[in-house]
Amino acid sequence: MAGYLRDNDNEIIVKVMDCKFDRISMDEAEKLILKGQYDLVAFTAMTNEIKAAAKLAKRLKKTRANLLTVIGGVHVTALPKMTLEEFPCFDYIVIGEGEETFLKLIRHFKLSTPIPPSGVAYRKNGSIVVTGPAVSVSDQDSINPAWDMFSPAKEYVIQSSRGCPFACNFCMNPGGRVVRPRAVKTTLDEIGYILDKFKPESIYFGDEIFTVKRGRAREICEGLIARGYHKRISWWCQTHVNTLDRELVRIMKKAGCRLVGLGIETGDEEVFRKMGKGINKEKIKKTIKLLNEEELKYDTMFILGQPNETVNSAQKTIDFAVELNPTTPIFGLMVPYPGTKVGEMALRGEGGYKLLSRDWDQFNKQIGNALELEGITRKQLERIQFLGYLKVFLYNLRFVDFFVFCLQYRKEGFASLRKILLGS
């Protein structure tokens, strides 16, 4: 967002603040923003972050009532009108991808044009108005992240494409069903810039599915090798089991890939058929066998709490995870995020779902409390989740890995264990 504004309007002075990464408290953020005397403050937030963003906006508005506040992100994209009704501290919402829309919105403020651009929600005469459909950025090469505005990091996220062709019931798919790639050269140039300027330890490709276009993924790997970047940094990505083959896995590893993340989601064949992900256990095991043979590490992501989940079907997921024996197993609990099919089902009470809360703070995959099912209570889901982590490591005799895992995620682990034992 900052890079797009800077590249397209040199009259706009842009500052960024990454409170999570830089460990900036609410009080400190408020002081820094008010000290800067800015005309506009823009926020982004996932569902479980929306209340924190609103709290800061409200505090800013209390001191400077005329300060313009804008918020974007997947949550407000799904619920633009509800967000403005729930949080009066936000003046405008940018729906969908924000680069072009936010730039046009700022120009609307500067020129005092009568109507904001398409893809914006705002209040007018006591009513909430949505100006029209969101605008996606067609030219991905026009987006150049302003990495120089952020503190140096050990790992950088490179977005080489947007979009995912699959239709999973638990995902809003904010990038759309059409995959829009950046040019391979643009992607490699960005990596080169980051390596030279910041010297990080790792790159993460933030694409929904990095290898969805296999030929292009291969070109990126070949470019990393040709430029010698594979000797300077390792990287990892998330992908889909249907989009990997031996040739691609080999060149990925040669190009510095140390790990791939795979969305497996369940171990129940019936759930697979209804999910919309286009996979089954046979395909998954075939891909895992390939990764093991080529000695490329893999994480697997599962979601407990699929539609009509039972203790038996959840146990099948845990057993399947033990069989796959990933480098790191990740067991999330289903969250009825706004804009997803599961979210709609939960609102209607379908799929055996019981919506426990509309408190957005509870919409967290690990320790939230938004959802349970008729066939399996929230407490049972949490216990199965906790046991799942134990079983994958201990049943595969990976005691050292389990110790390292516990150290790495000790904060989350203690929070989950406390919730299971004490209910808080």
Q: What is the CATH number of the domain that holds 193?
A: 3.30.750.210
CATH number of the domain that residue 107 is part of: 3.40.50.280
Cα 153 to the chain's mean position, in Å?
18
Overall number of domains in the chain: 3
- Cα separations (Å) of 62 from 65, 67, 90? 6, 10, 12
Per-residue pLDDT at 414? 63
Mean pLDDT, range 88-110, rounded to an integer = 96
The pLDDT-based confidence of 274 (bands split at 50, 70, 90) is confident
Asked if 334 and 342 touch (Cβ cutoff 8 Å), the reply is: yes
The verdict on 251 and 285 lying in the same domain is: no
The pLDDT-based confidence of 167 (bands split at 50, 70, 90) is confident
Q: Is residue 136 part of a domain?
A: no
Per-residue pLDDT at 368? 84
Whole-angstrom Cα distance, residue 78 to residue 95?
A: 8
Per-residue pLDDT at 267? 94
Per-residue pLDDT at 418? 62
Q: Which range is least confidently modeled, 57-66, 131-140, 271-280, 411-420?
A: 411-420
The verdict on 80 and 205 lying in the same domain is: no
Summarised one tens digit per residue, pLDDT across range 231-250 is 999 999 999 999 999 999 99
Per-residue pLDDT at 408? 86
Q: Is residue 142 part of a domain?
A: no
Q: Is residue 140 part of a domain?
A: no
Q: In what side-by-side order are the strands of the sheet with 68-72?
A: 40-44, 68-72, 92-94, 120-124, 127-130
Mean pLDDT, range 208-212, rounded to an integer = 96
CATH number of the domain that residue 424 is part of: 3.30.750.200
Residue 167 lies in domain: 152-255
pLDDT at 330 over 90: yes
As a whole number, the mean pLDDT across the chain is 94
Q: Is residue 194 part of a domain?
A: yes
Per-residue pLDDT at 417? 56
The verdict on 175 and 298 lying in the same domain is: no
Percentage of the chain modeled with pLDDT above 90: 87
The verdict on 345 and 238 lying in the same domain is: no
The verdict on 88 and 101 lying in the same domain is: yes
Q: Is residue 337 part of a domain?
A: yes
The verdict on 106 and 215 lying in the same domain is: no
Per-residue pLDDT at 419? 59
pLDDT at 180 over 60: yes
The verdict on 249 and 270 lying in the same domain is: no
Domain boundary among 255, 290, 325: 255
The verdict on 279 and 411 lying in the same domain is: yes
Summarised one tens digit per residue, pLDDT across range 378-389 is 999 999 999 999
The verdict on 291 and 402 lying in the same domain is: yes
Whole-angstrom Cα distance, residue 51 to residue 168?
A: 26
Q: Is residue 138 part of a domain?
A: no
Q: Is residue 186 part of a domain?
A: yes
Q: Is residue 419 part of a domain?
A: yes
The verdict on 99 and 206 lying in the same domain is: no
More confident residue, 274 or 175: 175
The verdict on 419 and 276 lying in the same domain is: yes
The verdict on 120 and 174 lying in the same domain is: no
pLDDT at 298 over 90: yes
Q: Which range is least confidently modeled, 107-111, 269-273, 323-327?
A: 269-273
Residues in the chain: 424
Summarised one tens digit per residue, pLDDT across range 63-80 is 999 999 999 999 999 999
Domain boundary among 255, 284, 302: 255
Per-residue pLDDT at 23? 96
Domain boundary among 96, 130, 164: 130
